[in-house]
Amino acid sequence: MNLTFESDTYARLTEPASSRTTNSMTKNWPEAKSILIVFATRYGHTAEIIQKMVDALTLLGHETIVIRAGREAPPRPEAFERDISCVILGGPLYIGRFPGVLSDFIEQYRNVLQSVPSAFFSVSLAAVHKNAKKKNPTYEIMQQFLDKNHWEPCRKASFAGALLYTHYGPVVRFITRWISKSAGGDTNTHRDYIYTDWNEITVFAEKIDTMIRLAARERQLSSE
């Protein structure tokens, strides 16, 4: 797994506004702007989902900046309105909780998050269920998380995760297998099980693309 991004674009996000050099590209919106993707991952599967998302957004003509929450320098607040067309935030849901680094990011950037189109997604085994009623608890937990952090993104999504038995330590492997067995799930600890519907990631990217273009159109109309 190797997520990469253009160093020049990332530098534009982290440098002070006073040191930024203006060129013809920065005058064109949304081409000069990037989608900021901030994510958390525990065993790496969310990063795989992010890579698929980046690939889909790239095909739709968008630049992306990928930051692992709590690991890499976040952008400066002024960069959001200047260089960011959309913020996508997400991560795994474990035992009813999201990683604390996601809450930290929202708390630090809550005000500026309201100034751009945004989305939040979760990755969990609960989302494996295709029955809408069985999937509701995932969205309920997600909404509780967002309410607690006083942020309401423009779009939300829940993606099915994976059972990565070969990546777990003995204790986590034992507990996960017991939970999976109780739910009638897969229990062969000598292999991994990927439940993610990759087409859902592509569809999500397409919806993000539409959201960004609509926001751009609204901004253009309001300035005329």
- pLDDT for residue 30 is more than 50: no
Provide the pLDDT for residue 129: 63
C-alpha torsion sign, points 106, 87, 211, 140: negative
Angstrom distance (rounded) from CA 224 to CA 23? 23
Token pair for residue 10?
A: 């990332």
20 or 210: which leads in pLDDT: 210
CB 164 within 8 A of CB 194: no
Q: What percent of the chain has pLDDT over 70?
A: 81
In the predicted model, what is the mean pLDDT of residues 184-210?
92
204 or 174: which leads in pLDDT: 204
Token pair for residue 121?
A: 């997604």
- pLDDT for residue 43 is more than 70: yes
Model confidence band, residue 19 (pLDDT cutoffs 50, 70, 90): very low
92 cis-preceded (ω within 30 degrees of 0)? no
Among 47, 137, 155, 129, CA closest to 92 = 47
Q: Write down the pTM of the prediction.
A: 0.81
Q: Where are the domains of the chain?
A: 7-161+198-223, 162-195
Token pair for residue 86?
A: 């959309």
In the predicted model, what is the mean pLDDT of residues 37-57?
94
Among 120, 98, 157, 122, CA closest to 46 = 122
- pLDDT for residue 32 is more than 60: no
205 or 163: which leads in pLDDT: 205
Token pair for residue 58?
A: 């790239």
Model confidence band, residue 17 (pLDDT cutoffs 50, 70, 90): very low
Strands (E), the chain: 34-39, 63-68, 84-92, 118-124, 155-160, 162-163, 193-194
Provide the pLDDT for residue 173: 87
Provide the pLDDT for residue 130: 53
10 or 138: which leads in pLDDT: 138
- Highest CATH level, class, for 7-161+198-223: alpha beta
Query: Could you read off the pLDDT of 137-191 as tens digits, one per residue?
Result: 788 899 999 999 999 999 999 999 998 889 889 998 888 888 888 878 888 989 9
Q: Which residues of 12-21 are buried (b: 16+ CB within 10 A; e: fewer)?
A: bbeeeeeeee
